[in-house]
Structure 1
């Protein structure tokens, strides 16, 4: 069947399209949400699923760290690049695992975990403010390796794309910092069993909200022509 050429709304480059088939170009929103679900959601889901099953915090942290490490290695081997969000989750749960060894106090561990989340949020904000390569741009390139160069070019040449990636990175930073701050009174003021559940629920809700919004917003930005 004859093919024609069309302009990719996500990258601005021409791609071949079969006239008798649907457009094969992946939807940026779905790709981002799916990638975030694997890189962020899977370790989080494993951690809390094991907790609900009665596993110790150490075992749950070890499993989440292992999944994040596997995703990091898989991305590095397949795409020859580091998946920024997988590395981020590896740091979050890896540091949490180390903290579990040095603290037997559940409240102290939760407060230290809050500091880790705040540090991660600060990294997002720094990459947004410096403007060189926001962390969400790096993540989008890891989710869409075939379009990594085109994304870099659009980020360099299109102001609305730059604003979009800087904004999403800033929102992740503010969201994670807010989650870290809100977790402190939950841990300090509530009984341990209630505080643990409330802080974990806050963590999951924050990550899910950020994932869904980030995928939707970046997909919308990439679909907007220059």
Structure 2
């Protein structure tokens, strides 16, 4: 998936429920039914992707399942703010998984790369060999997991606190904005870090640079 499709998908996943919420509020609905409507819009998008595109987004399905669970809890407790923390719960869980896997000695990001990396059936074995023999590779995956995991945890904690400090109408939009901003910042840092590692592994010598300019 290219970056453009990834960004468009993120905007749809994050923006659609928020837009539906504010539309419902403009039509005079109370916060609870407006939040429910926004969540149902997210469910509809999951169904659309699964049926029309024949592709079930596992993360979107997990968000939908979390929404349904919190909907039941919100109905039982009468607290609509619980519906606003569903993304924070998932974000915090992802952050804990990333940081916790480092404490166990094998970052989960490495497991994902090993499983998804190109190269056929022999690729997992090559990744395992690199993990055993390349300390720099291990440090890279530990750092990537710790930074992204810590960022997600901080995002989750801040948004949960703000949900219970600020009005629902404010946090419905602000929570989405904070979440998207965190993902963009973390994604930008990951790309910067990867580019820096590539440059460090393949430095451009002064002589090579002079030849390049001469041409």
Of the three residues 40, 45, 51, the one matched with 2:11 is 45
Q: Deviations over 1:146-187 (max 9, x none)?
A: 384344432332111111111111112111110111112321
Q: Could you tell me how far apart the structure 2 residues matched to 1:215 and 1:69 are?
A: 30
Q: Could you tell me how far apart the structure 2 residues matched to 1:130 and 1:197 are?
A: 37
Q: Could you tell me how far apart the structure 2 residues matched to 1:209 and 1:107 are?
A: 26
Q: 1:35 to 1:222 in 2, by over 3 A?
A: farther
Aligned to 1:23: none
Measured on the aligned residues, the alpha-carbon RMSD in Å equals: 3.5
Q: Could you tell me how far apart the structure 2 residues matched to 1:198 and 1:181 are?
A: 14
- Structure 2: give runs of 5+ residues left out of the alignment: 22-36, 203-215
Count of residues in Structure 1 that have an aligned counterpart in Structure 2: 179
Q: Which has the higher strand share?
A: 1
Under a length normalisation based on structure 1, what TM-score does the superposition of the two structures give?
A: 0.62
Q: Could you tell me how far apart the structure 2 residues matched to 1:69 and 1:128 are?
A: 33
Q: 1:174 to 1:74 in 2, by over 3 A?
A: same
Q: Is the Cα contact below 8 Å between 1:128 and 1:166 reproduced in 2?
A: yes
Q: Is the Cα contact below 8 Å between 2:70 and 2:86 reproduced in 1?
A: yes
Q: Which has the higher contact order (CA 8 A, sep 6+)?
A: 1
Of the three residues 196, 202, 210, the one matched with 2:172 is 196
Q: Which has the higher helix share?
A: 2
Of the three residues 38, 47, 54, the one matched with 1:57 is 38
Does 2:119 align with 1:146? yes
Q: Could you tell me how far apart the structure 1 residues matched to 2:188 and 2:140 are?
A: 15
Q: Could you tell me how far apart the structure 1 residues matched to 2:39 and 2:64 are?
A: 10
Q: Could you tell me how far apart the structure 2 residues matched to 1:168 and 1:189 are?
A: 32
> 1:66-145 residue pairs with structure 2 within 5 A?
87=58, 90-104=61-75, 105-132=79-106, 134-141=107-114, 144-145=117-118
Q: CA deviation at 1:87?
A: 4.5
Under a length normalisation based on structure 2, what TM-score does the superposition of the two structures give?
A: 0.65
Q: Could you tell me how far apart the structure 2 residues matched to 1:141 and 1:216 are?
A: 21
Q: CA deviation at 1:222?
A: 5.8
Aligned to 2:209: none
Q: Could you tell me how far apart the structure 2 residues matched to 1:160 and 1:116 are?
A: 30
Q: Deviations over 1:42-94 (max 9, x none)?
A: 65322233235527322333156458879xx969xxxxxxxxxx655543453
